[in-house]
Amino acid sequence: MNDKIRAEVKRNEANMIAFRRDLHRNPELSWQEIRTTNRVVTELERMGISYRRMEPTGVMAELVGNRDGKTVALRADMDALPVTELSEGLSYKSGNIGKMHACGHDAHTAMLLCAAEALIEVQDELTGTVRFIFQPAEEITEGAEAMIQQGAMQGVDNVFGIHIWSQMPTHTISCNAGPVFASADVVKIRFTGRGGHGAMPDACIDATVVAAAFVMGVQAIVSRETDPLEPAVFTIGRMEAGTRYNVIAENAVLEGTVRSFHPRVREKMEAAIRHYAKQIAATYGATADVDYSYGTHAVINEEESAKLAQGVVVSSFGDDVLYSDRPTTAGEDFSYYLQEAPGCFALVGAGNPEKETEWAHHHGRFNVDEDALVYGAELYAQYAYTYLTGNPK
């Protein structure tokens, strides 16, 4: 633990909370984070940290130590969600109707800026460079790839990220080695039958019946075709069929998502869904077209990086703060950074029933226990400091 970092984070806690509230009051959706980008740039200029604006939004900044060494990247996402905020009596409630920071990205950005300011205090002690990645468009899983394409991971030796987590108690931090978030794929299936009059079903092939049969039976893929020790989730979230009450549907479209932690399970699920859709369609004399799109990879924490983060947590906050949370089948595009360099992703607990901050992410009443922000900011900074001072070139 570096005492200068801790003191500086604590000194700037009020400013960090105020910044987070400002972003919460002014949420911007993916690829629309213009004001947010400008606010980040203003803070970096105030600190004297060099930066580069990314296209169309986002920022990459660097703090270079006095001695050459490795480069560690710290990432925070910035975008909000198309969710209407339901909280009442909140002084910083979203002022943009239908838009809300319902996942904690406002907190991530504020914490990383606070960490950057704290690291300035130990810049002379750093052997290497800290790169700060303020990423747009995580919610639509496009921002990480765009940042990487623009050079965000060029020359990076290790990468670290944080997510505020309302499902864990405040004053806890989890950073287990291995799977943390699942891969997240998108599936679209179009069944084509033969439409006609609702009173003459014998002359038709009802695409609604085909789609319904698929939905009712497809979970057998998970229960009977995948290894029960390697989990998978297949959810159909949307179904569209028909045009009128007395017209038998010629087409039916299903949309869903597949989540898994292992590439072999991912490949198995894709092959099985394609096979099952075509066989069900053939049973009824219909056809099936399957569009399977790979989304984010699974977030798999590299063991040495996870151990480093765990050591930082214990050293900075104590054994009782270190928490072992289960992997979640939610997706996170931080996985793209881990394809470029080893690293890890930590969860910082922010759930507190007394403050009503235990609501699920993406819910209209989601909020963050702001006591968690100092934990996240210090963890960002102490991780970078520990990695660079312990890993000379």
Question: Which residues sit in the known binding site for Mn(2+)?
Answer: 103, 105, 139, 163, 362
| Distance set, CA 163 to CA 74, 286, 371 (Å) | 12, 45, 15
Whether the CB-CB separation of 162 and 101 falls below 8 Å is answered with: no
User: Is 117 among the catalytic positions?
Assistant: no
Please state the separation of Cα 189 from the chain's center in Å.
26
Query: Amino acid letter at 69?
Result: G
Partnered with residue 59 across adjacent β-strands are: 53, 134
Residue with tokens 């039976």: 217
Dist. CA 164–CA 173, nearest whole Å:
9
Residue 159 · residue 343 · CB < 8 Å = yes
CB 206 within 8 A of CB 193: yes
Name the catalytic one among 8, 33, 85, 138: 138
Match 């169309």 to its residue by tokens: 56
Residue 164, classified by CB atoms within 10 Å of its CB into exposed (0-12), middle (13-18) or buried (19+), is buried
Whether residue 56 has a cis bond before it, omega within 30° of 0: yes
* CA 96 centroid distance within chain: 22
283 DSSP β-pair partners: none
Task: Count Cβ atoms below 10 Å from residue 251 Cβ, excluding itself.
Answer: 17
Respond yes or no: is residue 79 known to be catalytic: yes
Q: What are phi and psi of 388, to 5 degrees?
A: -75, -40
95 within 8 A of 26, measured Cβ to Cβ: yes
Cα–Cα dist 264/174, whole Å: 26
Pick the closest to residue 187 from 238, 141, 224 (CA basis).
238
Burial degree of 119 (CB within 10 A; 0-12, 13-18, 19+): buried
From the candidates 8, 43, 77, 79, which is the catalytic residue? 79
Strand 127-135 and strand 67-77: the pairing is parallel
CA 235 remoteness from chain centre: 19
- Find the helix or strand (DSSP H, E) in which 145 lies: helix 143-149
Active-site residues: which are they? 79, 138
